[in-house]
Amino acid sequence: MKKSSLTITSYIVSILFALLILYPLIYIISNSMKDNVKIYDIPPKLLPDTAQSLTIEIDYSVFEHLTDDQLLDKIQQDQILAMFSSVYELTRDSLFELKFVGTMNGENIFYSRAHRMKLELEKDTGVYANASINRKVLLYEDRYIRASNKIGYTFDRNGIQKVHNITNVEKDEIYDKVSKNLADKYETNGVLKGTKVKKNNLLLLESFIYYFQLPSWMYPKNEAVAKYSFLIFIINTLIVVSWAIITQVVLGAITAFPLSRILSKKAANFWLLFFLGTTMIPFVSVMIPQFTMFKRLGFYDNYWALLVPHLLPYGFFVYLYKGFFDRIPSSLFEAARIDGASNLYTFTKICMPLSKPIISIVALQTFLSNWSDFFWAWMVTERQNLWTLNVALYNISQNKAVKQNFVMGLSVLTILPVLFLTVIFSKHIKASLASSGIKG
């Protein structure tokens, strides 16, 4: 009975501590799914409000005499006025999707749909960057046409097929708010027929699509970023991490092998202390000399600057490899020498195949340290297409036009791969530590 109670208590305590540890991550994920208003609510809420989809239907029967181009122009004006006014005037209604339907004589002739985050991108970094939201600004020159084209729409004066799940729109609880805005403040051309609100929490997850697109809106002049957006930073990080893993796995083993099997014990201990001593040198003490040297050699603002530093084997990994090689039975090496095997053969055919536990540890440690690395990559890169994830996240967050929910959304995209790999390979990590004989 006592053992059972102790087990239950241990589980409860473990769960509580796990929740405390995960709380910051849960809070970041929750805030990334909020809009730029609810994220500042006091007291803060752990969970985001239910996302709502608003459909606005406006009738254009009074403009039946206009040409197609003239009619489309008036509808596009109303589309932009209705969408932006709803998002920026109805700030407490958690509107994450805006659907605009234009009708004429009972037929649907225009349809457009936009996610809230796309409208925020347009407002913060697009056509309406640094502009206030009012009728005059929204319709200034050809702004509304460019915004409408970027949002996308379907228009056919003869009627459009109901492929967009357009339903009959009725007056509901939000109708009065929309009607007041469109009639009094934004003065739409058509006549508001009604509105409809639906709840759809999948819209919260759709926000991450637009977080991912943020860099292409912020840096349109950089071709690589404009084309691949946040993916280019992921690619850069994967290149650096992959290169670091390969070099540390290989160079650490190559360095440790002669210390374990070729040099005398006295010489091996000297060089082992040398490599371990390099781990005790703070990076800040060599930062400026290393940066100056790299810049003079032409390793600045290019991939060489990111990759060359990893050609130095990390001292702790050399220590791990040497300790493991020392425990391999000498009889294996003696048998190989009797058969005429060279040192290269014994290294590649005996040491490395047996070193899988150490390789796993080195690869994982290298991945974690380089995935989160920031300072060196920030120092040696200026062009956006060379930024790694953390450098990109830092520079994006420094832009005052970027909302905090976008920054938190990008942070989640940066954190998730580490969590995913840690969960997937947790069993392999435990097995590697156990078989390598490392304690602590």
Asked if the model's pLDDT at residue 186 lies above 60, the reply is yes
Q: At what angle do helices 404-424 and 356-371 cross, to 10 degrees?
A: 180
- Looking at residue 166, what is its pLDDT? 55
Spatial contact of 127 and 74, defined as CB atoms under 8 Å apart: no
Question: Rounded mean pLDDT of 399-413?
Answer: 87
Q: What's the CA gap between 367 and 418, in Å, rounded?
A: 9
Map tokens 């040198």 to a residue: 281
Asked if the model's pLDDT at residue 6 lies above 90, the reply is no
Could you tell me the CA-to-CA distances from 258 to 206, 251, 312 in Å, in that order?
54, 12, 16
Contacts of 196 (CB under 8 A, 6+ apart): 54, 55, 57, 167, 169, 170, 172
Asked if the model's pLDDT at residue 1 lies above 70, the reply is no
- Looking at residue 434, what is its pLDDT? 56
Asked if the model's pLDDT at residue 376 lies above 80, the reply is yes
- pLDDT per residue as tens digits for the range 322-369: 988 988 888 888 888 888 888 888 888 888 888 888 888 898 889 888
- Looking at residue 431, what is its pLDDT? 58
Q: pLDDT band at 10, cuts 50/70/90? A: confident
Average per-residue pLDDT for the chain:
88
Sign of the dihedral defined by the CA atoms of residues 273, 274, 275, 277, in that order: positive
Q: pLDDT band at 418, cuts 50/70/90? A: confident
Checking 373-378 for CB contacts under 8 A at 24+ apart, the result is 373/240, 375/283, 375/287, 376/283, 376/306, 376/309, 377/240, 377/306
- pLDDT per residue as tens digits for the range 44-95: 888 888 999 999 999 999 999 999 999 999 999 999 999 999 998 888 889 9
Q: pLDDT band at 27, cuts 50/70/90? A: confident
Q: Residue 54: name the closest of 183, 208, 200 by CA.
A: 200
- Among 67-81, 154-168, 372-386, name the one with the lowest average pLDDT: 154-168
- Looking at residue 428, what is its pLDDT? 59
- pLDDT per residue as tens digits for the range 106-131: 889 999 999 999 999 999 899 998 88
- Looking at residue 216, what is its pLDDT? 93
